[in-house]
């Protein structure tokens, strides 16, 4: 829909009243191992969660690499899936402590 246009995505998020914006980049690099004749792939991921006001709430990075065999694309997807839970957990944890559940929450006064 946004055709990989971050400015259009931010504009749409403001028009639609989004509270948060998640931006990210996933890149993969495939190559032939020079020591043994096998394909290998590495995947890098970087995500940033920001509030609608532009303030950063969380960043999460992950990197993974593996021998790939014949199906390099499938191994790249496997590497992304292996890292996804950790990345999402980090973003969610930071959201809870910095912007959501734990942010600015006032504790009830102690009873005497």
Q: Is residue 30 part of a domain?
A: yes
Q: Are 97 and 103 in contact (CB under 8 A)?
A: yes
4 part of a folded domain: no
- 111 part of a folded domain: no
Q: Is residue 108 part of a domain?
A: no
Tokens of residue 88, six digits: 């999402």
The model carries a pTM of 0.77
DSSP three-state, residue 102: coil
Under DSSP, is residue 96 helix (H, G, I), strand (E, B) or coil? helix
Digitized pLDDT (tens) for each residue of the chain, 112 residues in all: 567 787 887 788 888 888 888 999 999 999 998 899 899 999 999 999 998 888 899 999 999 999 998 999 999 999 999 999 999 999 999 999 987 655 555 444 555 5
pLDDT of residue 9: 79
Write down the pLDDT at residue 77: 95
For tokens 């792939």, the residue is 41
Instruction: Give me the domain span that covers residue 49.
Output: 18-96
Pairing of strands 56-67, 39-51: antiparallel
**Inside any domain, residue 110:** no
Q: Name the phi and psi angles at 69, rounded to 5.
A: 65, -150
Residue 60 has a CB neighbour count (10 Å cut-off) of 20
In a domain, 103, yes or no: no
Backbone angles phi, psi at 91, to 5 degrees: -60, -45
Domain count for the chain: 1
Is 68 contained in some domain?
Answer: yes
Within a domain: residue 9? no
pLDDT at 3: 72
Residue 98: per-residue pLDDT: 86
Please answer whether residues 45 and 28 qualify as being in contact, where contact means their C-beta atoms are separated by less than 8 angstroms.
no
């Amino acid at each position: 829909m946004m055709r990989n246009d971050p400015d259009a995505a931010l504009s749409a998020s403001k028009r639609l009243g989004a509270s948060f914006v998640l931006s990210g980049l996933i890149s993969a690099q495939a190559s032939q191992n020079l020591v043994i004749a096998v394909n290998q792939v590495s995947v890098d991921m970087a995500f940033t969660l920001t509030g609608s006001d532009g303030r950063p709430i969380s960043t999460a990075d992950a990197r993974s690499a593996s021998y790939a065999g014949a199906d390099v694309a499938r191994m790249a997807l496997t590497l992304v899936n292996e890292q996804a839970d950790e990345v999402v957990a980090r973003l969610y944890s930071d959201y809870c402590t910095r912007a959501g559940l734990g942010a600015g929450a006032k504790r009830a006064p102690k009873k005497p």
